[in-house]
Amino acid sequence: MRRTTLLRNTARALLRFRSPKSSEPFETRYVITPQVLGSGTYGTVRLAVEKATKTEFAVKIIPKSILKAKSESKAEHYVLSEIDILQRLSHPNIVSLKEIYQTHECIYLVMDLAQGGELYEQLFVKGSYTEYDARRIVQQVLSGVVYLHDRDIVHRDLKPENLLLRDHSPDADILITDFGLSKILPHRDSVLLTACGTPGYVAPEVLSQVGYGKPVDLWSTGVIAYCLLCGYTPFWGEDTPALFESIRRGEYEFEDDYWHGISAAAKAFIARLLQVDPTRRPTAQEALDDPWFKVDANASSVPAVDLTEVVKNNLQAKRTVQKAIHAVTAANAFQEAGQRRAHSKEGWHQMFRRIISSPGEVFASPRVADRALSSP
């Protein structure tokens, strides 16, 4: 009975949303390719082609079996909430929902295809990467956040992995994606309580469980800006609790080895957003009006230093250590299965330090590697 009720409620709710321009079934209009563009808790995103126009789209496929599962009692709420939010959005820096289809088995969300792929994958394609390039990215993110906040929508999971490029051009538009954790505030000053987000980018008030609102997106934008300028996130710890404590205290620094070529205006902008007290952070519009964005790109106060190698090496250090962690964890699991023995915490850190300092590997510094150990 419960499963039938859930599906009936889902069907009724979907009637509120925009119907396809054609009454044709999804399979008649589109071909789904094997190429997986991404996946999440409630569905998989695949590349699809519209048969009539040969236009490529991204299609999020949500199995209705998820909505039936007793263990996923909140699935329907999150799925319908995401659809509701996507239906309200139309902005050049936010992914656009085109059509919605449903069958007995699945819900299909047809969205614009971000042909440029993930931000980090294309960041260095044009050969040089400067503070001006990072500033342009942050400016577009803030433009999207202003649009969201004007509609009382909090994204709650802003991070580089949720920023895609519209195409492969050197100055492609940034698209904010993944609204699975987003929330429409019932009132402009409503307080949210659900703890959610990505550890390295989550705001301190979320961790402190004191209630939060739109300022969490400004904190995350500050972390993104920091990372775009040096290749690593500002907060770190030897384990997740230590990372969270660092965030709660707002403990970070601009290490001279990586920040000597960055303007004072950029550092001041980041410092404004990474205020532990959310009431001291600027609104999205105030952040967009920050002096950093007013400086002429050709002015001497905006260094033309090529950041490509520093940012790329720091990003690579993080990814390499993450792969090492996964590999060692898998090997250790097999070992524990046979010997029922685990390494001590100190043993793990000594092991990782040996891995990251192996000859032939290029890392910016042990500090960056330490950040990688605890970053998501």
- Does one domain contain both 49 and 185? no
Same domain, residue pair 293 and 152: yes
Query: Residue 69 is encoded by which pair of tokens?
Result: 């599962």
Name the residues annotated as catalytic: 157
Domain match, 202 and 60 both: no
138 and 219 inside one domain: yes
Q: Is the dihedral of CA 274, 370, 161, 157 positive or negative?
A: negative
Boundaries of domain holding 59:
2-112
Pair 237, 181 in one domain: yes
Give the CATH number of the domain where residue 301 resides.
1.10.510.10
21 is in an annotated binding site: no
Whether the model clears a pTM of 0.85, i.e. scores above it, the answer is no
Residues 40 and 86 in one domain: yes
Check: CB of residue 200 under 8 Å from CB of residue 219. no
Q: Please identify which residue in the block is written with the tokens 């925009």.
A: 18
pLDDT in tens, 25-62: 899 999 999 999 888 777 899 999 999 999 999 999 99
Q: β-pairing, 97-102 with 106-112? A: antiparallel
Q: Which two tokens stand for residue 133?
A: 């390039």
In angstroms, the CA 376 to CA 200 distance is 6
Structure tokens of 225?
Answer: 């800006």
**Region class of 259: left (phi > 0), else alpha (psi between -120 and 50), else beta:** alpha
Q: Cβ contacts of residue 203 below 8 Å, gap of 6+?
A: 197, 212, 215, 216, 219, 220, 247, 278
Q: What's the CA gap between 309 and 94, in Å, rounded?
A: 29
Quote the CA–CA distance of 156 and 172 in Å, as a whole number. Answer: 24
Of 63, 91, 112, the one marking the end of a domain is 112
Query: Which region holds residue 334: left if phi is over 0, alpha if psi is between -120 and 50, else beta?
Result: alpha
Task: Convert the pLDDT of each residue in 267-311 to its tens digit.
Answer: 999 999 999 999 999 999 999 999 999 977 655 555 678 888 889
318 and 302 within one domain: no
**How far apart, in whole angstroms, are the C-alpha atoms of residue 9 and residue 145?**
31
Domain count, the chain: 3
Q: What is the pLDDT of residue 303?
A: 61
| Of 87, 112, 137, the domain-final residue | 112
Side chain identity at 298, as an amino acid letter? Answer: N
Report the alpha-carbon distance of residue 201 to residue 192 in Å, rounded.
17
Report pLDDT digits (tens) over 299-348: 555 567 888 888 988 887 765 555 544 444 444 433 443 443 344 444 43
Q: Both 216 and 362 in a single domain?
A: no
